[in-house]
């Protein structure tokens, strides 16, 4: 059993493929599936109903959470009907194109701090005590893909999801699906512009496009990154608002669900059924999780727990020391909790607002969000310039 | 508000502000979209406030007792520290049905347990859904000449109008069971036959065989009052 040491474990765990599998199947997929249930249950509560609460395995009921398993089973075993007139190759490709980019984009999200396996039981002092240098080898970074252009990578990859809807509409050989696909591409292209620009201010303030760096440093190097006032929501509140609106439009959900408009105006996946439809559906929910993750990482300090530094809680100079494993566990939990809360908020918005008309959607995107984000970049840049010249 | 005067619009009128009135023509001030309409911010904030309040209330507070839900005549007054969910989880929780709820049919019995129906064919005649099938037979008894050999009601076709009960001259068919039509796997199983209808029935309280031609003498004094009330010609017409 001498092969079972931290070095080999780290070799496996620090592998991007392992991390991706862990993230996708440990966090993203379960959260997205549970969101399918949560969406119905939460909307019910908002409308004075009970919602789905009956699915159970014997006596295990869990308030109905198990509905997502029933849904998955149903979708997998439903007839996968393919109309005769469709373009078969593209018809099959479209759901994959909708689902894959979101899962790939998750690579840039840091979902936890760097783990130092040899120090798990010890307190990780920020200034090492004399005589005992921490053993920082075999570290496992809880981020799959760390590149300086991280958020640009996200924009680039997520644009591909655009093709999913458009190709689905085109390949279906159905006028309504085609129109839905066109609506989808026009909407996504319009809002991608302001989505990218809305984040520009945060780049200026944080000085990096790398989500891990933003999380680990905050906007003001004088304070600990765990201080909530050091998270970017404070200097970038308008940017957060603009990004949130544009990002919700990107997920193609109400109030921006013109591309789908399932019951009345008929969307691009009208010809899809069974698990292929389920993939579009799941992609939408994964996008919710993803948008929440991006907002968490960029604006709300990512995995940072308020006032929790790597050696323990620190209030006003006093330190309540915690071992490394506890810190890591709390930070991963904090990331999950923040993402979950933001998902909840997106569902709240989705069940509050009625759908925009196509013209309202376009004028909101081009006439309001775009100029506002441009103006906000200018203001941020000016502010940064003034601060820099004042601070030397 | 519905009777707001044409000439003098009340000051707190919700609609557009009226600038001048010329007979039936009014000059009103049209609201141009304001900044808050263009950004949707004010309305969004208000809407989220409403939905958030409902969510918080329904999420954190306990449900009202099932007995309080779905009361006839609307929900009971808001109870403190209870949420606003109205759903009744049916098989486990049931609301009391109103007295006149029309449920599954039943056939009433004579004193000896035989079917009360005299196969007069009133109910199949009146039934708008044509879902009652009766094949009469002779009883061989001079008092009651006919009875149904076959009495079938297709509960899937029945529109639960209750006209059959109204039509029946001898309290033989009733819909007061308070039961719903059962779920079935085969359509044929939804057809109730004489035996199943009779099994649900009880002895009728109505006097058997009627009261005879001299019923006026025997009839209880009180029973005469509603009868004369219903049959009295109305002077209004
Ligand atoms: S309730 Fe109406 S529809 Fe049903 S059997 Fe009676 S008369 Fe026919
Ligand atoms: S149930 Fe009543 S109305 Fe129908 S046939 Fe029998 S006696 Fe006549």
Q: What pLDDT is attached to residue B208?
A: 58
Whether the CB-CB separation of A250 and A295 falls below 8 Å is answered with no
Average pLDDT on A233-243 reads 91
- Reported for B147-152, long-range contacts at CB under 8 A and 24+ positions apart, including other chains, are B147/B114, B147/B115, B147/B117, B147/B118, B147/B119, B148/B115, B148/B117, B148/B119, B148/B194, B150/B193, B150/B194, B151/B107, B151/B115, B151/B117, B151/B193, B151/B194, B151/B197, B152/B191, B152/B192, B152/B193, B152/B194
Residue from A38, A41, A43, A47 to probe the interface with B (highest B Cβ count within 10 Å): A47
Q: What pLDDT is attached to residue A127?
A: 67
Number of domains within chain A: 1
User: Is pLDDT above 80 for A265?
Assistant: no
pTM of the model: 0.78
pLDDT band at A311 (very low <50, low <70, confident <90, very high): confident
Task: Please give the DSSP secondary-structure letter assigned to residue A312.
Answer: E
Average pLDDT on B94-105 reads 85
Burial pattern A9-45, b for ≥16 Cβ within 10 A else e, equals: ebeebbeeeebbeebbeebbbebbbbbbbbbbbbbbb
A352 touches chain B (CB under 8 A): yes
User: Is pLDDT above 80 for B219?
Assistant: no
Structural domain of A241: 3-389
Adjacent-strand bridge partners of B107: B173
B45 touches chain A (CB under 8 A): no
User: Is pLDDT above 70 for A273?
Assistant: yes
Distance B164 CA to ligand 1 centre (A): 5
Q: Which residue has the CA at smallest separation from atom 2 of ligand 2?
A: B168
- What does the pLDDT look like over A16-67, one tens digit per residue? 888 888 888 888 888 888 898 999 999 999 998 888 888 888 888 888 888 8
pLDDT band at B233 (very low <50, low <70, confident <90, very high): very low
Q: What pLDDT is attached to residue A299?
A: 92
The rounded distance, in Å, linking the Cα atoms of B102 and B105 is 8
Average pLDDT on B212-220 reads 63
Number of Cβ within 10 Å of residue B163's Cβ equals: 16
Adjacent-strand bridge partners of B151: B134
Average pLDDT on B86-107 reads 84
- What does the pLDDT look like over B13-68, one tens digit per residue? 567 788 888 888 888 888 777 777 777 888 889 999 999 999 999 899 888 777 67
Pick the more confident residue, B96 or A20: A20
CB–CB contact B86 A48 (8 Å): yes
B168 Cα nearest atom in ligand 2: 3
Lowest mean pLDDT among A75-79, A130-134, A205-209: A130-134
Q: What pLDDT is attached to residue B97?
A: 79
Q: What pLDDT is attached to residue B4?
A: 45
Average pLDDT on B102-119 reads 89
Residue from B49, B51, B64, B70 to probe the interface with A (highest A Cβ count within 10 Å): B51
Mention the CATH class of domain B106-207. Answer: alpha beta
Average pLDDT on A235-258 reads 88
Q: What pLDDT is attached to residue A71?
A: 87
Q: What pLDDT is attached to residue B50?
A: 94
Lowest mean pLDDT among A108-122, A270-284, B68-82, B155-169: B68-82
Does B134 contact ligand 2 (Cβ within 6 A)? yes
Q: What pLDDT is attached to residue B1?
A: 42
Adjacent-strand bridge partners of B136: B148
- What does the pLDDT look like over A330-362, one tens digit per residue? 999 999 999 999 999 999 999 999 888 888 888
ipTM reported for the complex, 2 dp: 0.85
- Whether the link from the prior residue into B220 is cis, omega within 30° of 0, is no
Residue of A nearest to B58 (CA): A45
Site of tokens 């039943």: B106
For chain A, the average pLDDT equals: 87
User: Is pLDDT above 60 for B5?
Assistant: no
Q: Residues with beta carbon inside 6 Å of ligand 1?
A: B 126-129, 131-132, 153, 158-164
Domains in chain B: boundaries: 62-96, 106-207
CB–CB contact B44 A352 (8 Å): yes
Site of tokens 């995995």: A303
Pick the more confident residue, A8 or B5: A8
Q: What pLDDT is attached to residue B226?
A: 43
Percent of chain A's residues with pLDDT above 70: 97
CA A33, A36, A42 angle in degrees (round to 5)? 130
Burial classification of residue A219, based on how many CB atoms lie within 10 Å of its CB (0-12 exposed, 13-18 middle, 19 or more buried): buried
Q: What pLDDT is attached to residue B94?
A: 79
Q: Which residue has the CA at smallest separation from atom 3 of ligand 2?
A: B168
- What does the pLDDT look like over B55-82, one tens digit per residue? 999 899 888 777 677 554 455 555 667 7
Helix axes A274-299, A175-206, angle to 10 degrees: 20
pLDDT band at B107 (very low <50, low <70, confident <90, very high): very high
Nearest-ligand number for the alpha carbon of B123: 2
Which phi-psi region, left, alpha or beta, contains residue A58 (left: φ > 0; alpha: ψ -120 to 50)?
Answer: left
Largest CA distance in chain A: 75
For the four alpha carbons of A115, A116, A119 and A124, in that order, the dihedral sign comes to negative
- Nearest C-alpha neighbor of A270 from the set A179, A350, A189: A179
Does B118 contact ligand 2 (Cβ within 6 A)? yes
Q: What pLDDT is attached to residue B48?
A: 93
User: Is pLDDT above 90 for B213?
Assistant: no
């Amino acid at each position: 059993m001498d092969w079972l040491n931290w070095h080999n474990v780290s070799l496996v765990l620090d592998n991007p493929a392992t991390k991706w599998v862990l993230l996708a199947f440990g966090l993203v997929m379960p959260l997205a599936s549970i969101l399918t249930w949560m969406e119905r249950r939460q909307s019910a509560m908002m409308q004075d109903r009970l919602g789905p609460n009956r699915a159970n395995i014997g006596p295990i009921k869990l308030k109905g959470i198990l509905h997502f398993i029933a849904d998955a089973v149903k979708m997998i075993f439903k007839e996968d009907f393919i109309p005769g007139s469709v373009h078969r190759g593209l018809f099959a490709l479209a759901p994959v194109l909708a689902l894959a980019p979101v899962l790939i984009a998750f690579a840039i999200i840091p979902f936890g701090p760097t783990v130092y396996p040899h120090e798990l039981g010890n307190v990780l002092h920020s200034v090492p005590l004399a005589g005992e240098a921490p053993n920082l080898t075999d570290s496992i970074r809880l981020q799959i893909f760390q590149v300086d252009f991280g958020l640009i990578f996200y924009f680039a990859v997520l644009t591909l999801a655009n093709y999913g809807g458009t190709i689905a509409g085109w390949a279906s050989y159905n006028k309504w699906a085609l129109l839905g696909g066109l609506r989808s591409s026009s909407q996504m292209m319009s809002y991608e512009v302001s989505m990218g620009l809305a984040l520009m201010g945060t780049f200026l303030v944080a000085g990096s496009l790398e989500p891990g760096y933003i999380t680990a440093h905050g906007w003001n190097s004088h304070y600990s990154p765990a201080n909530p006032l050091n998270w970017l929501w404070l200097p970038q509140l308008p940017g957060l608002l603009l990004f949130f609106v544009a990002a919700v439009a990107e997920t193609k959900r109400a109030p921006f669900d013109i591309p789908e408009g399932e019951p009345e105006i008929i969307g691009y996946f009208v010809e899809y059924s069974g698990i292929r439809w389920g993939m579009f559906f799941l992609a939408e929910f994964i996008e919710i999780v993803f948008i929440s993750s991006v907002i968490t990482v960029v604006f709300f300090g990512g995995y940072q727990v308020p006032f929790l530094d790597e050696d323990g809680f620190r209030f006003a100079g006093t330190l309540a020391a915690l071992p490394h494993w506890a810190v890591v566990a709390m930070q991963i939990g904090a990331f999950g909790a923040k993402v979950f809360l933001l998902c909840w908020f997106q569902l709240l918005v989705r069940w509050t607002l009625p759908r925009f008309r196509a013209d309202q959607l376009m004028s909101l995107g081009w006439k309001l969000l775009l100029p506002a984000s441009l103006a906000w970049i200018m203001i941020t840049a000016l502010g940064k310039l003034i601060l820099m010249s004042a601070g030397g | 508000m519905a009777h707001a005067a044409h000439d003098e619009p009340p000051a707190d009128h919700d609609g557009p502000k009226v600038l001048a009135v010329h007979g039936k023509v009014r000059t009103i001030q049209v609201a141009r979209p304001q900044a808050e309409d263009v950004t949707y911010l004010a309305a969004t904030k208000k809407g989220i406030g409403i939905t958030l309040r409902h969510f918080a209330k329904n999420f954190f507070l306990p449900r009202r007792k099932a007995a309080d839900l779905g009361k006839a005549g609307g929900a009971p007054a808001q109870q403190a520290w209870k949420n606003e969910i109205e759903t009744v989880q049916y098989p486990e929780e049931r609301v009391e049905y109103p007295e006149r709820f029309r449920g599954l049919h039943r056939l009433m019995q004579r004193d000896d347990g035989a079917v009360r129906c005299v196969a007069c064919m009133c109910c199949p005649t009146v039934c708008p859904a044509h879902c009652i099938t009766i094949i009469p037979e002779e009883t061989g008894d001079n008092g009651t000449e006919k009875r149904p050999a076959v009495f079938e009601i297709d509960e899937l076709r029945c529109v639960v109008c209750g006209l059959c009960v109204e039509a029946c001259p001898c309290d033989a068919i009733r819909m007061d069971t308070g039961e719903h039509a059962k779920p079935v796997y085969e359509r044929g199983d939804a057809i109730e036959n004489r035996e199943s209808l009779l099994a649900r029935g009880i002895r009728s309280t109505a006097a058997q065989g009627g009261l005879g031609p001299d019923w006026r003498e025997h009839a209880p004094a009180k029973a005469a009052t509603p009868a004369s009330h219903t049959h009295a010609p109305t002077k209004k017409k």
